[in-house]
């Protein structure tokens, strides 16, 4: 498992812990790292995710409430809620992470840690969020690179079938 997946898991665990403490989770994130140690490269990616989620929690939760049709916010499982929070934070505030990556990671995490329908539920909410974004779901630089590579690679020449001249 990659460092970014582990970092996302750590961010979800931190916010799950805060939920269980009714928002009174560890005062310092360092307390969390003592309880859940992680390698420096994982912490390096997780720390801004954790801090960003805390800083933007009201806006993030508002997005979740907006798209939970016929479903009360408080009834969303803590696991699903924190997976959604992480993905929405990444989609709204992290330009270095393409939204499609955030969505795919969230779906995988929901399948691993959530209930039977968590993957579909998370996907449905995040798809609504993605449609409201002011940026493309996939970074256009990836498409540009892909098309440049395809143009640089010349197709394999086909053999010419020659007929004898009559």
CB 78 within 8 A of CB 19: yes
Which tokens sit at 59? Answer: 């806006």
**Greatest CA separation for the chain:** 92
**Mean pLDDT per 10-residue run, the chain (166 residues)?**
91 88 66 86 94 95 90 91 97 94 96 94 95 70 47 42 47
Query: Nearest-CA neighbor of 71 among 125, 8, 114, 136?
Result: 125
Domains of the chain: 3-151 (1.10.940.10)
Contact 83, 12 (CB under 8 A): yes
Q: pTM for the whole thing?
A: 0.78
């Amino acid at each position: 498992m990659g460092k970014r997946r582990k970092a996302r898991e750590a961010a979800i665990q931190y916010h799950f812990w805060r939920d269980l403490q009714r928002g009174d989770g560890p005062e310092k994130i360092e307390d969390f790292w003592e309880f859940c140690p992680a390698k420096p490269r994982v912490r390096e990616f997780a720390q801004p995710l954790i801090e960003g989620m805390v800083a933007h929690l009201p806006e993030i939760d508002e997005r979740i409430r907006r798209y939970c049709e016929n479903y009360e916010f408080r009834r969303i499982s803590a696991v699903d809620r924190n997976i959604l929070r992480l993905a929405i934070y990444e989609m709204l505030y992290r330009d270095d992470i393409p939204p499609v990556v955030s969505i795919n990671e969230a779906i995988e995490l929901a399948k691993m840690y959530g209930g039977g329908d968590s993957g579909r539920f998370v996907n449905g909410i995040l798809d609504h969020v993605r449609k409201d974004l002011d940026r493309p779901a996939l970074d256009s630089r990836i498409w540009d690179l892909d098309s440049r590579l395809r143009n640089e690679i010349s197709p394999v020449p086909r053999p010419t079938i020659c007929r004898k001249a009559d």
